[in-house]
Amino acid sequence: MYVPYERELLPHLSLLLDQALQSGNPRAAAPLHARLLKAGLLARFHARLFLCYAVASGRRNLLSLHRLLGGAPPDAAAGCFQWNAAVSSLVRRGLPSLAARAFSVMHGLGLPLCSYALCSAIAAAVAAAEEAAALGMQAHAYTVKSGWASAVFVGGALVNLYVKLGGMGDARKMFDEIPLKNATCANTLLMGYVNAKLWPESLALVREMLAAGPPPDDFTLSAALRMFAEMPAAGLGKQVHAHLLRRGQPIEEDALLLSLLVEMYGNCGRVGEARRVFETAGGRVAEAERGARDVVLWTSMLNAHSRNGQFPDVARTFDEMLAEGTPPDGVAFVAVLSACSRTADLAGGLAYFQSMTEDHRISPWPEHYGCVVHLLCMAGETKKAWELAEGGGTAGGVRVWGALLAACSELGDVEMGKRAARRALEEDPGNVGVYVELCNLYARQGMWGEIELLRKEMNQRGLKKEVGSSWLEQRPYSATPDLYKLPL
pLDDT one-digit tens code per residue, 281-301: 765 544 544 445 889 999 999
pLDDT of 438 strictly over 90: yes
pLDDT of 396 strictly over 80: no
What's the whole-number mean pLDDT along residues 111-131?
A: 83
- Residue range 201-225, pLDDT digits in tens: 999 999 898 888 788 888 999 999 9
| Percent of the chain clearing pLDDT 90 (strictly above) | 46
Instruction: Say what the alpha-carbon torsion angle 12, 14, 19, 25 is, to the nearest 10 degrees.
Output: 110
pLDDT of 406 strictly over 90: yes
> Minimum mean pLDDT among 178-187, 221-230, 290-299: which range?
290-299
The pLDDT value given to residue 280: 84
pLDDT of 305 strictly over 60: yes
- Residue 384's nearest CA partner among 369, 366, 399 is 369
Q: Is the dihedral of CA 428, 429, 432, 433 positive or negative?
A: positive
The pLDDT value given to residue 71: 63
**463 Cα distance to chain centroid:** 28
The most confident of the ranges 42-46, 50-54, 137-141, 313-317 is 313-317
Better-scored residue on pLDDT, 278 or 4: 278
Q: What is the mean pLDDT of the chain?
A: 83
The pLDDT value given to residue 132: 67
pLDDT confidence bin for 467, thresholds 50/70/90: low
The answer to whether the beta carbons of residues 414 and 447 sit under 8 Å apart is yes
Better-scored residue on pLDDT, 453 or 290: 453
Determine the Cα–Cα distance for residues 171 and 176; give it in Å rounded to an integer. Answer: 9
The pLDDT value given to residue 323: 93
The pLDDT value given to residue 480: 44
C-alpha to C-alpha distances, 251 to 46, 92, 285, 369, nearest whole angstrom: 53, 34, 15, 37
- Residue 159's nearest CA partner among 189, 125, 190, 184 is 189
- Residue range 153-171, pLDDT digits in tens: 999 999 999 999 889 999 9
- Crossing angle of helices 183-195 and 152-165, in 10° steps, is 10
Determine the Cα–Cα distance for residues 348 and 351; give it in Å rounded to an integer. Answer: 5
The pLDDT value given to residue 88: 85
Determine the Cα–Cα distance for residues 198 and 176; give it in Å rounded to an integer. Answer: 18
- Domain boundary assignment for the chain: 391-464
In three-state form (DSSP H/G/I as H, E/B as E, the rest C), the secondary structure along the chain is: CCCHHHHHHHHHHHHHHHHHHHHCCHHHHHHHHHHHHHHCCHHHHHHHHHHHHHHCCCCCCHHHHHHHHHCCCCCCCCCHHHHHHHHHHHHHCCCHHHHHHHHHHHHHHCCCCCHHHHHHHHHHHHHCHHHHHHHHHHHHHHHHHHCHHHCHHHHHHHHHHHHHHCCHHHHHHHHHCCCCCCHHHHHHHHHHHHHCCCHHHHHHHHHHHHHHCCCCCHHHHHHHHHHHHHCCCHHHHHHHHHHHHHCCCCHHHCHHHHHHHHHHHHHCCCHHHHHHHHHHHHCCHHHHHHCCCCHHHHHHHHHHHHHCCCHHHHHHHHHHHHHHCCCCCHHHHHHHHHHHHHCCCHHHHHHHHHHHHHCCCCCCCHHHHHHHHHHHHHCCCHHHHHHHHHHCHHHHCHHHHHHHHHHHHHHCCHHHHHHHHHHHHHHCCCCHHHHHHHHHHHHHCCCHHHHHHHHHHHHHHCCCCCCCCCCCCCCCHHHCHHHCCCCC
| Percent of the chain clearing pLDDT 70 (strictly above) | 78
Determine the Cα–Cα distance for residues 432 and 338; give it in Å rounded to an integer. Answer: 23
pLDDT confidence bin for 49, thresholds 50/70/90: confident
pLDDT of 261 strictly over 50: yes
Better-scored residue on pLDDT, 209 or 50: 209
pLDDT of 22 strictly over 70: no
Determine the Cα–Cα distance for residues 341 and 306; give it in Å rounded to an integer. Answer: 11
The pLDDT value given to residue 441: 94
What's the whole-number mean pLDDT along residues 241-257?
A: 84
The answer to whether the beta carbons of residues 176 and 156 sit under 8 Å apart is no
The pLDDT value given to residue 186: 94
Kindly report whether the global pTM for this prediction surpasses the value 0.85. no
The answer to whether the beta carbons of residues 21 and 47 sit under 8 Å apart is no
What's the whole-number mean pLDDT along residues 128-132?
A: 69
Question: Any idea which fold 391-464 has?
Answer: 1.25.40
The pLDDT value given to residue 393: 47
Determine the Cα–Cα distance for residues 221 and 224; give it in Å rounded to an integer. Answer: 5
pLDDT confidence bin for 468, thresholds 50/70/90: low
- Residue 2's nearest CA partner among 43, 50, 30 is 43
The pLDDT value given to residue 70: 67
* Side-chain half-sphere exposure of 45, counting CA atoms within 13 A: 28
Better-scored residue on pLDDT, 383 or 281: 383
> Minimum mean pLDDT among 41-50, 105-114, 163-172, 253-262: which range?
41-50
The pLDDT value given to residue 13: 64
The answer to whether the beta carbons of residues 119 and 157 sit under 8 Å apart is yes
